[in-house]
C-alpha cells in the first residue's frame, strides 16, 4: 500500500462523482457511498501505517554516511544511532512545459502515513455521525459529495511529493470548506461566513503562491525532497529561503488560523458541526502545520530556528496561543469556545515548529485531532439531543450531565486531554512542546505555553460547567443521542486517552518520534528527555486553571464582590468588551479594510474609470465631433462652399446688373445700337485723321 498510496485519495474522489451524479437516486442518498469509500480508505491507511512501521523497525542500523547526496543527518538520541529510512517515492510526469517537469506523486513517510490515518479515521467517523446529525437535511446528498471531495483533496495534500500537488490539495480543501461552511446558504450569515473563510485563507494563499515560486527558483524543482535537501545543503541561499519561509508562513497564518488571520475560524462555525469537527479542528486547519512540518528545512534555514531566541514563526504561534485562549472566555456559543480553543492549540503547534520542536508539534497535531474532534462532535451531540439545536450555553444548556451521560463523560475525557492532564493524550504532547521549547533556547515561549495551559484548563472548565452542570435552562427535552452519534464519541475518547502513550516520554516510549520523524533531509533537532519538574509545573498550571475556574463557577454565590465585576467596573468592562469584540480585529478587517476596498476604493477606482480614463475616450470622441462640427461650419460651409456659392452669386449679381440694359423697349435698343455706331464712326474718324 505504501507504493500504491495514490489509491487512498482516489477512492473519495471517485465517490464524489458517484454521489454527485447518482446520490439522489439511491436509498441512503449517497451516504452509503461516502461511508464505504472512507472506510476503504481508512483500512488502506491502516495497512500503510503498518507497512511503514514495519519498514522503520526492520531498517537495519549502520547504513553508512555515504549518502551525502541527500545531505541527510543522523538523528542521535543518547547513544543510539537511528538508521536512515527513506520515504517511499513514486512520481509520474504529468506534463512538461518549457523543459520543466510537472508531475503528481506520492511521498510516503511517517508524517504522511500518520496524517492518512488521522484524516481517514476522523472523516469516516464524521461520515457515520452525519447520517444522524444531518438526517432529513435539505442538501444531504450534496453534503456527502462535498465531504468526499474534501477528503480526497486533503489526502492529496497529505501524500503530495511536490509543492504544486500540495497547492492543488490546499486550494481544494479551501473550496470544500467554502461549500460546507455555507451549507445552509439560505441564511445570509452562513454564506458570509463561507466567503470570509475563503477570502481570508486566500489572502494567506498569496504567500503560498509566491513561496512556492521562490522555492522553485531556489531549488530548481517542485519536489519536496529536493527542496528540503537544498535547504540543508551548504549552497542554500539563505536570503531566498527567508523570503520563501516568510511567504509560506503567511499561508500557514491564513490556513491554520494564526493571528492575525484567525478571524475566519470562529465564523466558520456556521457550518454543520460534523464539518467543524472534521475540517476546522482536525484536518484542514492543520494543513498549514502540515506544510510547515513537511517543508521544515526551509523554515529551519530561513528563520534560523536552530539559533534560539525569537523568530517569526514562534512569535506568531505564541501570540496566537494567548489571544485564542483569552477570547474563549467570553463566548456563549459552545462551538465558538472550541473554535478559539482550536486557534490556541494551532498556536501551540506553530510555536513548537518555530522552536525546533518538530516531533512535539506533529505529535500535538496527532493528539489534538482526536480530542478536538471529540469535543466538537460532543458539542454536536449536545445540540442534537440536548439543547434543541442551539449552541448557546447560557441560554439553552446546563445540567445536561444527568440526561446525556455518554456525551458528558466523553466530553470530560476530551476536556482533560485538551487541558493536558496526566495521563490523557494532551498532557504528553503539550508537555513535550514546553520542554523542547525550553531546551532549544526559547525560554520566553515556554512561559507563554505555560500561561496558555492555565488558560486552556480554565476556559474549558467554564465551558463544561455551563453546559453540563447547574440547572437546565433550555426549552427542549434533553436525552442521550443515538448510537450513531455516541459510538464515534466513544471511539475518539479511547484515542484521546491512549494516543498519548505513543510518545510517553516519561515511560521512555518514543514510538511516535521513531516512526514519524523524517531521517532524510532533516535537520538535527534537540530531543530533550522527559523533564519531571517542568511536567509537574505544567500539570499544576492546568490543575490550578481547572481549580480556579471551578471555584469561580461552582461557588459563584460566595464570590460576592467578583460577581458581576465586568458590569460594574469600567476598566474590567472595557477589557471584557475588548474581548467580546475580538480585539476589534474583525471590525478592522471587515469594517475598515474589506469595506473600504469593496466600498470607497472600488467605487473610487470605478469613478476614475468612468470619469478620468473614459473621460479621455469620450473627450476624444467629443473633441473629434466638435472639431468636425467646426470644420464643417467654418471651413466647409464658409470657406469652401463660400467660394462655390460666391461664384454663383457674382454671376447672378452681374446678371442682375445687366438686366438694366434689357428694358424691353425696342427704341432703347435702337438707341444703344446707334450710339455704338456713332462711337465707332467717331473713333474711325479720329483714327484716320
- Applying CB under 8 A, which residues contact another protein? 94-100, 164, 167-168, 171-172, 175, 178, 182, 185-188, 191-192, 194-195, 198-199, 202-203, 205-206, 209-210, 213-214, 216-217, 597-598, 601-603, 605-606, 609, 613-614, 616-617, 621, 658-667, 670-671, 674
- Cα–Cα distance, 630 to 624 (Å, whole number): 10
CB closer to another protein out of 201 and 381 = 201
Count of alpha carbons within 13 angstroms of residue 307, beta-carbon side: 8
Count of alpha carbons within 13 angstroms of residue 579, beta-carbon side: 19
Task: Report which DSSP code applies to 398.
Answer: S
Least CB distance from residue 229 to another protein, whole Å?
A: 20
Q: Which class for 111: exposed (0-12), middle (13-18), buried (19 or more C-beta within 10 A)?
A: buried
CB closer to another protein out of 217 and 632 = 217
DSSP 3-state of 104: strand
Least CB distance from residue 283 to another protein, whole Å?
A: 18
Task: Report which DSSP code applies to 184.
Answer: G
Alpha helices in 398-424 (DSSP H): 405-419
- Cα–Cα distance, 206 to 292 (Å, whole number): 16
CB closer to another protein out of 587 and 597 = 597
CB closer to another protein out of 204 and 414 = 204
Least CB distance from residue 75 to another protein, whole Å?
A: 34
CB closer to another protein out of 167 and 457 = 167
Under a CB-based contact definition with an 8 Å cutoff, are residues 172 and 156 in contact? yes
CB closer to another protein out of 67 and 615 = 615
Least CB distance from residue 94 to another protein, whole Å?
A: 6
Under a CB-based contact definition with an 8 Å cutoff, are residues 298 and 227 in contact? yes
What is the DSSP annotation of 313-373?
HHHHHHHHHHHHHHHHTT--BHHHHHHHHHHHHHHHHHHHHHTT-HHHHHHHHHHHHHHHH
Least CB distance from residue 178 to another protein, whole Å?
A: 8
CB closer to another protein out of 185 and 444 = 185
CB closer to another protein out of 602 and 680 = 602
Least CB distance from residue 172 to another protein, whole Å?
A: 6
Under a CB-based contact definition with an 8 Å cutoff, are residues 359 and 525 in contact? yes
Least CB distance from residue 593 to another protein, whole Å?
A: 11
Least CB distance from residue 638 to another protein, whole Å?
A: 27
**Which three cell numbers, joined as nine digits, stand for 433?**
512542546
**Element containing residue 94 per DSSP (H, E):** strand 88-97
Q: Which residue has the cell 447547574?
A: 470
Under a CB-based contact definition with an 8 Å cutoff, are residues 19 and 33 in contact? yes
DSSP 3-state of 160: strand
Amino acid at each position: 500500500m505504501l507504493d500504491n498510496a495514490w489509491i487512498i485519495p482516489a477512492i473519495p474522489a471517485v465517490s464524489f462523482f458517484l454521489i454527485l451524479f447518482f446520490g439522489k437516486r439511491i436509498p441512503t442518498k449517497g451516504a452509503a457511498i461516502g461511508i464505504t469509500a472512507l472506510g476503504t480508505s481508512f483500512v488502506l491507511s491502516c495497512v500503510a501505517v503498518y507497512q511503514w512501521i514495519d519498514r522503520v523497525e526492520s531498517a537495519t542500523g549502520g547504513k553508512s554516511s555515504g549518502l551525502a547526496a541527500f545531505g541527510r543527518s543522523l538523528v542521535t538520541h543518547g547513544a543510539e544511532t537511528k538508521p536512515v529510512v527513506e520515504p517511499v517515492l513514486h512520481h509520474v510526469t504529468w506534463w512538461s512545459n518549457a523543459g520543466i517537469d510537472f508531475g503528481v506523486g506520492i511521498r510516503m513517510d511517517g508524517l504522511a502515513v500518520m496524517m492518512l490515518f488521522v484524516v481517514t479515521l476522523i472523516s469516516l467517523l464524521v461520515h457515520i455521525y452525519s447520517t444522524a446529525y444531518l438526517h432529513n437535511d435539505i442538501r444531504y446528498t450534496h453534503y456527502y459529495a462535498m465531504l468526499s471531495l474534501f477528503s480526497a483533496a486533503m489526502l492529496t495534500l497529505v501524500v503530495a511529493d511536490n509543492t504544486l500537488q500540495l497547492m492543488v490539495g490546499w486550494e481544494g480543501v479551501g473550496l470544500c470548506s467554502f461549500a460546507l461552511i455555507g451549507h445552509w446558504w439560505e441564511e445570509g450569515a452562513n454564506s458570509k461566513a463561507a466567503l470570509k473563510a475563503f477570502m481570508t485563507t486566500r489572502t494567506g494563499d498569496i504567500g503560498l503562491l509566491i513561496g512556492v515560486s521562490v522555492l522553485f527558483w531556489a531549488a530548481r524543482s517542485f519536489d519536496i525532497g529536493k527542496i528540503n535537501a537544498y535547504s540543508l545543503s551548504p549552497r542554500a541561499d539563505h536570503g531566498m529561503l527567508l523570503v520563501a519561509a516568510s511567504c509560506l508562513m503567511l499561508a500557514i497564518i491564513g490556513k491554520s488560523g494564526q493571528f492575525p488571520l484567525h478571524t475566519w475560524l470562529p465564523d466558520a462555525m456556521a457550518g454543520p458541526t460534523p464539518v467543524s469537527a472534521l475540517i476546522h479542528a482536525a484536518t484542514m486547519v492543520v494543513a498549514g502545520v502540515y506544510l510547515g512540518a513537511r517543508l521544515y528545512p526551509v523554515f529551519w534555514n530561513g528563520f534560523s530556528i536552530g539559533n534560539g531566541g525569537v523568530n517569526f514563526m514562534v512569535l506568531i504561534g505564541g501570540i496566537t496561543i494567548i489571544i485564542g485562549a483569552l477570547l474563549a472566555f467570553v463566548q456563549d456559543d459552545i462551538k465558538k469556545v472550541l473554535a478559539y480553543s482550536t486557534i490556541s492549540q494551532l498556536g501551540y503547534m506553530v510555536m513548537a515548529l518555530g522552536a525546533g520542536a518538530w516531533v512535539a508539534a506533529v505529535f500535538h497535531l496527532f493528539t489534538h485531532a482526536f480530542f478536538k474532534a471529540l469535543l466538537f462532535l460532543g458539542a454536536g451531540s449536545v445540540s442534537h439531543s440536548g439543547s434543541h439545536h442551539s449552541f448557546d450555553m447560557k441560554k439553552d444548556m446546563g445540567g445536561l450531565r444527568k440526561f446525556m451521560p455518554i456525551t458528558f463523560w466523553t466530553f470530560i475525557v476530551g476536556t482533560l486531554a485538551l487541558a493536558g492532564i496526566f495521563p490523557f493524550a494532551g498532557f504528553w504532547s503539550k508537555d513535550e512542546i514546553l520542554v523542547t521549547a525550553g531546551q532549544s533556547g526559547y525560554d520566553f515561549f515556554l512561559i507563554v505555553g505555560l500561561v496558555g495551559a492555565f488558560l486552556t484548563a480554565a476556559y474549558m472548565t467554564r465551558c463544561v460547567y455551563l453546559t453540563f452542570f447547574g440547572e437546565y435552562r433550555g426549552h427542549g427535552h434533553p436525552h442521550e443521542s443515538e448510537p450513531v452519534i455516541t459510538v464515534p464519541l466513544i471511539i475518539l475518547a479511547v484515542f484521546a486517552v491512549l494516543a498519548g502513550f505513543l510518545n510517553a516520554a516519561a515511560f521512555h516510549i518514543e514510538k511516535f518520534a521513531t516512526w514519524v520523524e523524517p531521517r532524510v533531509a532533516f535537520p538535527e533537532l534537540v530531543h530533550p528527555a522527559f523533564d519531571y519538574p517542568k511536567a509537574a509545573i505544567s500539570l499544576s498550571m492546568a490543575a490550578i486553571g481547572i481549580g480556579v475556574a471551578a471555584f469561580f463557577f461552582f461557588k459563584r454565590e460566595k464570590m460576592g464582590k467578583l460577581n458581576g465585576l465586568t458590569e460594574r467596573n469600567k476598566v474590567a468592562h472595557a477589557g471584557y468588551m475588548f474581548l467580546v469584540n475580538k480585539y476589534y480585529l474583525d471590525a478592522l478587517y471587515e469594517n475598515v479594510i474589506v469595506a473600504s476596498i469593496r466600498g470607497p476604493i472600488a467605487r473610487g477606482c470605478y469613478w476614475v474609470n468612468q470619469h478620468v480614463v473614459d473621460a479621455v475616450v469620450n473627450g476624444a470622441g467629443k473633441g473629434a465631433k466638435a472639431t468636425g462640427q467646426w470644420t464643417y461650419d467654418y471651413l466647409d460651409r464658409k470657406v469652401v462652399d463660400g467660394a462655390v456659392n460666391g461664384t454663383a452669386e457674382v454671376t447672378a449679381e452681374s446678371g442682375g446688373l445687366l438686366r438694366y440694359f434689357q428694358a424691353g423697349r425696342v427704341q432703347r435698343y435702337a438707341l444703344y445700337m446707334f450710339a455704338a455706331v456713332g462711337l465707332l464712326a467717331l473713333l474711325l474718324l479720329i483714327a484716320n485723321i
